[in-house]
Amino acid sequence: MSELRKDYYVQDKFVLIPNNIDQINKNPEIIYNTQQPVPVTNAQACPYCPGSTGDCDNLVLSFVVKEGILQRLYDTTDDENENWSIRVFECTNPLVTAHSNQQYSDRPFYREPACGFDLIIVPTPQHDIALSEMSIDQWTNLLLVLQDRVRWLYSQRGVTYVAIYASRGINGGSKIKHPHFHITTFSSIPPIIEKEAKTFHQSMNESGSCPACSMIEAEINGPRQLFSTTGFITLVPWAPTYNYEFWICPRKHSTFFSKASQKEINDLALVICSSLRGMDKILGKTDFSIAFHISPEKKNSRQLHWHLEVYPLISSWSGLERGFGIYVNTPNPEDSAKILGEASRKELARLIGVL
């Protein structure tokens, strides 16, 4: 029997699970295992490649790895600058602007200035490498730089929320093949984060318990778990919006990504590498997006249990999703977790040297 499921936190979202329990076995072609078209950007024209001749965003910071330690480059020689490991750019065509135009209006034509910062984090000088192909060390260094920028951005005036996200492929909205992350700030909390935080706040007030911690306790070793480590669990959510969507959550209660320890960052890098490579083994190098759901650090009443969400983009939405907010998910989350979990655990074993 088909069923409707509700999200853990956003209770006004419905996910339709059709009656197709055996479909994954009967129709193996549902696994999207073909190479997707990639953005047409060669290394010579790429604005993020070393020695690029293309139009580049404004360089803010450069980092280099020396003797295994990530170091910030200040006054550097050209040679050092050409051998960078991670760079931070300020967008020349930002989604939000640094200065307010002071244009406000209320219903029915509500508007407010979209003020904030728009940064690009380039985690590697390698143009043709995919996010899923980056090493554990590269992911560790990227996460450390993301932490550094989150701390700095939350110290800036007018920043209420810091959004961290990335995509691969045209369907994910990425026009540049070179791997990169976006950090965009807002003067208000985004709607999905606001809904999640409201649920967390209500649960903590009513029962004193974190709903994410309760969810994780229920999902550990369950049918939707891909795998878990000491610090993190990777799972397909009960009511996913996207086919093969999965989350990465700290197992212990944690509200601020910016305060994650070095040990936790190392563990998270391993988990991200394993799960993204497992996804590629099953779905091919399909387009996908990744988003960090982190707490807005300036409003203590709007805290949440931070986590990452990965959305493979293997199918387009119909009128049902677009027009009514009811999301059709095939195969069902339990089958998705089984398939992704087997591939991800193998990748984890390879990364830690078991296989």
Contacts of 283 (CB under 8 A, 6+ apart): 31, 32, 33, 244, 312, 314
> Could you give the number of structural domains in the chain?
2
- Whether 40 is covered by a domain: the verdict is no
The sign of the torsion formed by the CA atoms of 263, 269, 274, 275 equals positive
* CB contact at 8 A, 54 and 89: no
The confidence score (pLDDT) of residue 268 equals 98
- Whether 22 is covered by a domain: the verdict is yes
* CB contact at 8 A, 243 and 30: no
pTM here is 0.88
Give me the phi and psi of 105, to 5 degrees please: -155, 160
pLDDT truncated to tens, each residue of the chain (355 aa)?
A: 546 667 777 656 666 656 654 444 433 344 444 444 555 457 667 888 887 655 567 888 999 998 888 988 875 545 545 679 999 999 888 888 777 666 777 777 777 778 889 999 999 999 989 999 999 999 999 999 999 999 999 999 889 999 999 999 888 777 788 999 999 998 888 889 988 988 888 888 888 889 999 999 999 999 999 999 999 999 999 999 999 999 999 999 999 999 999 999 999 999 999 999 999 999 999 999 999 999 998 866 678 999 999 999 998 889 999 999 899 988 999 999 999 999 999 999 999 998 7
Burial of 312 (0-12, 13-18, 19+ CB in 10 A): buried
Burial of 48 (0-12, 13-18, 19+ CB in 10 A): buried
The confidence score (pLDDT) of residue 344 equals 98
**Is 307 annotated as catalytic?**
no
DSSP 8-class letter at 236: -
- Residue 22 lies in domain: 1-30+191-354
The confidence score (pLDDT) of residue 45 equals 77
Do 235 and 340 share a domain, yes or no? yes
Query: Which residue, chain included where needed, has tokens 């492929």?
Result: 169
- Whether 39 is covered by a domain: the verdict is no
Do 279 and 346 share a domain, yes or no? yes
Q: Which of 178, 180, 182, 307 is catalytic?
A: 180
Interatomic CA distance for residues 301 and 313, integer angstroms: 33
